[in-house]
Amino acid sequence: MHRFRGDAMPVVGCPLLNSRGSLAFESLKGVSLSGYKGVCVRASDATGDAMIEFHDGLSSTAAAPPRLRESAGLSTAWESGGRWRTSPPGAHLREELLGCIFHVAPATFFQVNTVVAGMLASIVTGACGGAGRVLDLYGGQGAFAVPLSMRGAEVDSVEIDEETTIAGRRSAEASGAETVRFVTASARDYVSSVLKDGTKWNAVILDPPRVGLEHGITSMMKSVTDGMLVYVSCNPTSMSRDLRLLIGEGWALQAVHALDMFPQTDHVETVAVLIPECEV
């Protein structure tokens, strides 16, 4: 841990870690962390995997991080020369959501509260139930796309980060999801490109970062779907702004779900389902 805008300080444990993470944390005790700005412990109780990430190494060499005590299912990852390396080579953290296996690459995003993340994925996939073709914008590693594919939908998942896209393909393969396609691109660039050929989907999922939707995305939605929009947000402020724009473009708010993704904090994860105003 580190003090607010201050120096690092040792801790004996973390009450927010799951049981597998606590075991992984034990392997760090007595280990010198000199030369690293941060250490991240990631773990899954569902699969038994754990990964310790050493962030922002001060050396540009490919030297491995400190040697940790051997532990089944524990891998390490570290930054070196501008890229991530793992031991064993090619290691990912396997996580499970809605019965699907996800391969989480080092330093890529995946919800840490997997219990509530499962509820979130269930709400989103349930809202899209029956949609034959789904466009998943800001799709990440496919937390919505892979389960939807397993239910028979054809999904195009668009994510700007290439490492996350690669991990998504690996996750789809591990889960046997054969009808999901991962595209590395910004949401706005991708939607702009498909407008030219008139491609449409039965539903669109929007799960942007905290800043909200990219400029101009809201005005494009009517051109890519005649069905519904499912908007997922971790920031009620940017979501409120974007919903106001979407309503102004002819969408109607059908349902809103709030989930306590980060208990004992003021953060809330929200899902809004919108349909064309003419269907109200």
Contact 160/185 with Cβ under 8 angstroms?
A: yes
In the three-class reduction of DSSP (H, G, I as helix; E, B as strand; rest coil), residue 161 is classed as: coil
Contact 236/169 with Cβ under 8 angstroms?
A: no
Q: Is 234 a catalytic residue?
A: yes
Q: What is the SS3 string spanning 86-113?
A: EECCCCCEEEEECCEEEEECCCCCCCCC
Q: What count of other Cβ atoms lies within 10 Å of the Cβ of residue 30?
A: 8
Q: What is the DSSP letter of 214?
A: P
Question: One of 40, 100, 128, 234 is an active-site residue; which one?
Answer: 234
* Residue 102, Ramachandran bin (φ over 0: left; ψ between -120 and 50: alpha; else beta): beta
Q: Which residues are catalytic?
A: 234
